[in-house]
Amino acid sequence: MKQDLLGLKGMSTDSIKNILDTAKTMKLILSQPNKKTPHLQGRTVVNLFYENSTRTRMSFELAAKYMSANAANITASGSSVQKGETLIDTARTLNAMGTDILVMRHSMSGAPNVIAPIVSASVINAGDGMNEHPTQALLDMLTMYEHLGSFENFKGLRVAIVGDAYHSRVVRSNIYGLNAMGADVCVAGPATLLPQKMEDMGVKVTTDVDEALKDADVVMGLRIQLERQKKGLFPSVREYHKYFGINEDRLKLAKKDALLMHPGPVNRGVELSSSVVDGEQSVIDDQVTSGVAVRMAVMYLLSRGGLY
């Protein structure tokens, strides 16, 4: 039976560990001058993106190509979506062309869950609205894993996630994944950008960023998602940065060697100051490399029925 990756909710700790270990091996391949492997030879990977993307789309495409798959991209703006074709018809059409893996991003939460049962291709969620972005959380955890050295060190790891949690699919997938690995997650931001009942997901929630950052092992900024906000949820970008932005002084509250992460794209001077983005603790570029490795691992495991 085909396998899909729709989210990290409910994924077992063993499955997460298996993906991360596979991705670690894939990262070795990425460091070679010759990155071609035969893992997906003859398979077809199609990226169907209804929302903009730089990192996610390009890394799925490169991951597919590195593993010798046929890779193709389609965006809503250049397709028959503009002529009124529905998501279901578009997905069926791509499936009928021999797609083996359909990577999709959509502004509607749950869109991949609608498509997965009606196509024979494996569906990978590359971000659905405010719901989940599973490969992002996996690449975040791979980046942490490489610094921690072992899965044991995830236990009790203090991870502070700061920013627009309300609109963030990244925070939700990270909470599911990090909880499964035994980390202690604290989410912080202005009250208007914190979802109600986020505590019920098993995390600490606070409006006090300094409190969240204190003694953290990992500090993750989240982008202010202006495209998903219908009304101003904070007075101004400048004020946001002053009270909730991560700058050098705030970062000093975390452990000395804490990792600074961000899924990108970064709004410099809003959720993170430029000095911390470019600072020594920043692993933002490592996250990008981890992204290619994780996507290679996920597509490889899916294609042989070994993801779960």
Q: Which is nearer to ligand ASP, 39 or 223 (CB)?
A: 223
Beta 101-106 vs 122-128: how paired, if at all?
parallel
Among 7, 112, 127, 189, binds ligand ASP (CB under 6 A): 127
Q: Does 245 bind ligand ASP (CB under 6 A)?
A: no
Contact characters 131-150, ligand ASP, x per CB under 6 A: --x--x--------------
Query: Least separation, in Å, of the C-beta of 215 and ligand ASP?
Result: 26
Query: Least separation, in Å, of the C-beta of 133 and ligand ASP?
Result: 5
Query: CA 143, CA 187: separation in Å to the nearest integer?
Result: 19
Q: Which is nearer to ligand ASP, 195 or 263 (CB)?
A: 263
Contact characters 196-225, ligand ASP, x per CB under 6 A: ---------------------------x-x
Q: Which is nearer to ligand ASP, 106 or 169 (CB)?
A: 169
Q: Does 169 bind ligand ASP (CB under 6 A)?
A: yes
Q: Does 172 bind ligand ASP (CB under 6 A)?
A: no
Among 7, 134, 195, 263, binds ligand ASP (CB under 6 A): 263
Nearby residues of 32 by Cβ (< 8 Å), 6 or more positions away: none
Amino acid at the residue 306:
G
Provide DSSP, 43-80: -EEEEEESS--SHHHHHHHHHHHHTT-EEEEEEGGGSG
Query: Least separation, in Å, of the C-beta of 300 and ligand ASP?
Result: 23
Q: Does 170 bind ligand ASP (CB under 6 A)?
A: yes
* DSSP-based three-state secondary structure for 123: strand
Q: How far is CA 91 from CA 7, 77, 273, 298, 302, in A?
A: 19, 15, 40, 20, 19
Neighbours of 38 (CB within 10 A): 8
Nearby residues of 19 by Cβ (< 8 Å), 6 or more positions away: 138, 294, 297, 298, 301, 307
Q: Does 106 bind ligand ASP (CB under 6 A)?
A: no
Q: Which residues bind ligand ASP (CB under 6 A)?
A: 127, 133, 136, 169-170, 223, 225, 263-264
